[in-house]
Structure 1
Amino acid sequence: MSRQQDAHKHDLDREDPLGHKQTAFDLPKGVIYLDGNSLGVLPAHVPARMQCVVTQEWGQSLIRGWNDHNWIDLPQKVGNRIARLIGAEPGAVVACDSTTINVFKVLSAALSLRPERTVIVSDNGNFPTDLYVADGLTKLLGKGHFLRLVDPQNVTKAISEDVAVVMLTEVDYKTGRRHDMKAITEKAHAAGALMIWDLAHSAGAFPVDLAGAKADFAVGCGYKYLNGGPGAPAFLYVAPRHQEHVTAPMTGWMGHEAPFAFDLDYRPAAGIDRMRVGTPPVLSLSALDAALDVFDDVDMEELRKKSVSLSELFIREVESRNVGLELASPRDPDERGSQVSFRFKEGYALMQALISCGVIGDFRAPDIVRFGFTPLFISHGDVLRAVDTLEKILVTRMWDREEFKKRQKVT
């Protein structure tokens, strides 16, 4: 790092209104973590909260914890905390299940609201599990539904009068390309279709405005930018105007209007609760609830401003070193989420070499090296140090060692 770079870094970090947030996270010493878009960092206070939940709430209260510690309402409590971060109305979000299961639930519910239509529109940059669910659901329903898959830039052209649902991930998991939520939702509604947004790479990364965009449904996960821990519960959103009309495809007891009446007939609960299914996972929901504390005093516009500053610095520095990487993300920051991706033929080996040097990003087949910028715990100095490490690995061809080419189960 040159003196000029170092001075510039200090200026940016000194003016950073979120700089103090780094101490809220338990980051391993010497690690620059650019993978919060895949698994968030442990907030420093979560272990103490979990110790209390395990030893006091569960250990001492036992079954009484459902009432004494309000475990039963954790899905709504956590859902309402997430709602603030995604621009959702109060009572429109519930934290439950996994993202995949929630995609199944909201897509089924949306299709039931458009019974005369058979087309689901999505793009080939969508996360594959969403597409797998859509394909499987069309076969399960057996009513002639089919998935119309197009390139991301052709989504609006594919929305015609036969479309029941448009289902998109707002931020492409590979490239970070970001859809225009408001414009595409308006286009879907103009054609009489409903809109589902997957916010897995949006929630906690930048301001989202589901209500302002008039989205119909949304899903997202708790373990990326929300820092809820590996396998943290997901969430789903149903616009208030739809809540009393949707039919949940999985009618479990927690979606019943009176689950502890143990009636033999199913009657859906009022509002968003009808989208619940099974018993809340108290331990993981408690971890996610605690993790969300770090956002309590965060201005999401400030967070977005820093995200852009970090990612622009990263792109500028990587390209100035002329090390043979090709930008895979949109160059315009308004068209990106909070990640930057580059293409490199031996991307897997390159990323393993980086990780061995304490710079953790990740790899997506076939050739994408992906870097997430979580403004709450990443500094401009971290970015410059990461690029220095990246340059050294590429110049010395350190990545070309056999130890870095052996693929593990999780890439």
Structure 2
Amino acid sequence: MTIRAFFRGILAAAVGLLCSLPDFSDAAQSIRVLLASDVQRLDIRADKTIWVTDAEDRGHFFRSSLRVEVRGPALLLNGTRVIGDQITLRAGDRDLKLLLPRANGNGNGAAAQLNDEKSALQVSGLIQLLRRGKGLMVVNQVDLEEYVKGVVPAEVNSAWHPEMLKVQAVAARTYALYQHMLSAGRDYDVAASIQDQVYRGRQGIDARVIEAVESTRGLVVTHQGAPIYAAFSSTAAGITEDAVVVWAKDLPYLKGVECPFDIESPYYQWKASFKLETLEKNLRLLGFQVGTIATITPLTFSRAGRVATLRILHSKGELILRGEELRKAVGYTVVPSTQFTIESVGAEVVLAGYGAGHAVGLCQWGAKELAELGYSFSAILRYYYPGTDLQNASLTKAPPVPISGS
């Protein structure tokens, strides 16, 4: 064997070894983000050409402007009919601007301001339109790091301390990767709303946001080598909450910790009121058999002092309702947290409380204060997610499927 042949053999073996290693590069390359659902009409803009691929892999292109409409079993692309239940849109290396319809406020569900360029959602990557029922799901398939850049300024103020922006970047990246690894059977990985984490495409991205994301590129919070369910909320106003209390998910890294750091939050203390008939109506819509409500009384409390369950006496009997179910029924913005007392129950229910959000995991306002006190992003993350490590996303394994209790 010649020396050249010998080295060729070594090179071939090395290439073979690299090819046999698991390919982690695609594991976090892109995230599928649900932007809207049940859409009947969508306007898209681009600087140059919009390329469209239909369900049969046929290509179409449009010069800078496209309207997609649902018409019976078909879709119309600028009035031209295409058959199929999905299409993919891209603009090469350029962004797409989506003019998503918004309710016009007259109660009939009609769309308004479709052509308002200022309200357009500007996104990178590609757009998938999936026919589901009578409308379309709008899904943005976007690079993970670009997605994180769109989450950070939507979740916190980009003028906050740089270490806090890094905290938010790592938490958002971790949450997205966790959902991505468990969503193979779904049409999307995360929703672009408080259902998961808020994402507004390019809106709000500045040099500070880019620095926070790029300086933590690829870093995620892990437990036993897998990305964690990186829950976060605005203001704990006390001890953070155990996940098992809020979601019946007993996760070892989502246990309550002291959080006396968020007193400067505008949501630290609040008052709220809502109509009793609104609660009755919304509980029925959620499937609860409830009559006319007479009394509402906190029944049990979490270790952190939040309302775990409430006892509701009504004309048809008794209903035991979880605190988070009350928030869902009335509105998460109406009742900011379950850390409240009931001041009165009449035609209106009046609450007084503290904090905002579910209070599980990272407290954003608490992390802001810790960053200003000089703590690093890694120290802050380890404090709010006890027993975790920071790891490169490419080296992680899939997390276990969470088991929920009743």
TM-score class, shorter-chain normalisation, is under 0.3
Q: TM-score, normalised by structure 2?
A: 0.26
In proportion to residue count, which structure has more helix? 1
Greater RCO, CA 8 A, separation 6+: 1
Q: TM-score, normalised by structure 1?
A: 0.26
Larger Rg: 2
In proportion to residue count, which structure has more strand? 2
